[in-house]
A and B are shown apart, each in its own frame.
Chain A
Amino acid sequence: MRDKRTLYLVILLPFFLYPALFFLIGKVGQSQAGKMQQEKVTVLIDPALEQTPVPGLIGSDPSFVVKVQAFDSQALTEEKNTIGIRVDGNYAAGLAANESVILRITGDFSKDLLDGRKQSITGLLNKLNQSLLEERLQGVKLPPTFAQPLLIQEEDLAKPSQRIGKVLGTYAPMLLMLFIFTGCIYIAIDITAGEKERRTLQTLFTTPVNVREIIAGKFLAVACVGLASALMNLFSLVFAVLLQAKIMGGNVSAISLAVSAQGWVWMITLIVLSTVFLAALSMAVSLLANSYKESQSYVSPLMMLVLIPAVMAQMPGMELTMTTALVPVLNICLAIGAIFKGTFSLPAMVLVVFFALLYGLLALYLASHIFGNENVVTGEKVNWKLLRGRG
């Protein structure tokens, strides 16, 4: 508890970071959106369109200032917040001849404000297009459905809880792996390479304590902090998402999950097993370093090893099979995803738990093997040739 830096960084900071970050992003986003909504945009309309419904239609949106005047592209880019609408050919003659009249919306749409307003103008003109189409069909005595032989409608049978399960099942496993790993790695570095650097490890080895007990103690410390960090991060993230939804005016009470009691048991089992695996792996790798700084250089490659399978699990069509159940991290991510989506099966879970346990034990064996190395005991660089156990 005296290592306040680790306590702040691994547990307290994430807990407050996400809500603070999401709140800030939400507030800034909201304020920006409001600001953009209030900002007036000038729409220059080709004089050829003066006698058409276009100026009135655009003017019906109070965020636009409509001016009927001739313009060129150069002028539009130089003028601030200005969009132009021009017509190719004769509007009235084109419509009368049942042709398509081309209306061009012109402006610098790399600007967020103008790009957004272009969408609004397109929406308004689409409405005009629809009413003109209906007029044409009426003129030839055809019903409005004539121009729409098929009316496609979607009917989603998924409950809101299933839809949330799909989103969580896709993203939560990767975030969980990331949180567990970041929770484990820094404490693992501190109590392995950090202790080597601070020259306290050798003292521990001269006491009448079995090496296995020393490893177990260190492993438990890493795993507990990793698990606590992951859970704090996850709760904080969920809280932040709900907070964000509330800020954006969403119905927070409607958000629910469809994970069964059995699903929760499997999920907790998988989280614990992944913590065992990542804690042991973090210890094994950081033991190879002689200093805190050196071990930090191992963090990025190790994080890649964890993140690549976790990202792969997000890919469309990636499912839990006999093959994917063999791949560390990927198997747990897919299994947790299946639990969230409510699509898990008992044999698949048993298989994943078996392999997750196997990999966890292998990682622990590797960590204890490296820990028992004489070079580690004496605080020196690990010699792979001398990787022999110590009782």
Chain B
Amino acid sequence: MPASIEARNLGKRFGEVHAVQEVSFEVHPGEIVGLLGPNGAGKTTTLRMLAGLLAPTAGEAFINQHSVQKEPLVARRALGFLTGDMDLYRRLTPVELLTYFGQLYEVPRPELRRRIDELVEAFGIGDFKDKHCEKLSTGQKQRVSIARTLVHDPAVVVLDEPTTGLDIMASEFILQFIRRMARENGKAVIFSTHHLDEVERLCDRVVIIHKGRLQHHGDIDSALAATNQARLADAFFEMVQF
């Protein structure tokens, strides 16, 4: 099965600083891959290169077999991307926001209406669908943000710390949804987080980046075996030489 996400020797340099060097990994349909690394490791830069926000200085990224650099618009059409740096338009209601982004992705009108109804139902947005986004709670905003990421039904979903700032109930809701999205709808998911327990529960494989370089790419058991540890947290600390 061809990979939905492929990072091929990705590298990014800011002046003299090598933020990312020779990072390669793949994510297949139905898979959830955890992207781990301490702050400043190069995770966000890697994700931004996958989304076409940053141009790699080396290597190439592919989304659904389309080069992000050569066919950016086609690649982005297959991608749902959410990081902590993205917020909602404050003066729009959740439904207006979903409609706006659905239109940007050129989702046909009847399909968009159906899709928004599904997302409003799935994320329990109904109670606050007509409130302006600026009046929503952190958890409600995050639900709308993830719904926005999925409004065009992308084959590939990249979520950077989607549970940060959420309470335990809201986090659980999001995690369950990500699991269903991959298992039942066959989406390829990159899940970046600092919560290693969430990774253990959710991810099929992990990609660990440290100082811009790939430290590990494989399933959790292989990470444990490679470091002789019993817990992913310990394996992670060993790999980043904590």
Interface residues, chain A, with chain B CB atoms under 8 Å away: 2-3, 198-200, 202-210, 374, 377-379, 385-386, 390-391
B90 touches A198 (CB 8 A): yes
CA distance A204 to B76 in the complex (A): 11
A residues in contact with B73, CB < 8 Å:
208-210
Interface residues, chain B, with chain A CB atoms under 8 Å away: 14-15, 48, 51-55, 72-74, 76-77, 79, 81, 83, 85-92, 101, 104-106, 148
Which one of A200, A386, A390, A391 lies within 8 Å of B86 (CB-CB)? Answer: A200
A377 touches B54 (CB 8 A): yes
B54 touches A374 (CB 8 A): yes
CA distance A2 to B132 in the complex (A): 11
CA distance A322 to B39 in the complex (A): 59
CA distance A262 to B121 in the complex (A): 60
Contacts A206-B76, A208-B73; A390 near B55 (Cβ below 8 A) = yes
CA distance A207 to B154 in the complex (A): 11
A377 touches B53 (CB 8 A): yes
CA distance A2 to B97 in the complex (A): 14
CA distance A191 to B222 in the complex (A): 48
B86 touches A203 (CB 8 A): yes
A200 touches B87 (CB 8 A): yes
In the complex, 28 of the A-B residue pairs with CB atoms within 8 angstroms, ordered by the A residue number, are: A3-B91, A199-B85, A199-B86, A200-B86, A200-B88, A203-B86, A203-B87, A203-B148, A204-B104, A205-B52, A206-B51, A206-B52, A206-B53, A206-B81, A207-B76, A207-B104, A208-B72, A208-B104, A208-B105, A208-B106, A210-B73, A374-B54, A377-B54, A378-B53, A378-B54, A379-B85, A390-B55, A391-B72
CA distance A187 to B237 in the complex (A): 48
Beta-carbon nearest neighbor of B134 in chain A: A198
Beta-carbon nearest neighbor of B80 in chain A: A206
A205 touches B53 (CB 8 A): yes
A residues in contact with B101, CB < 8 Å:
203, 207
B53 touches A198 (CB 8 A): no
B85 touches A202 (CB 8 A): yes
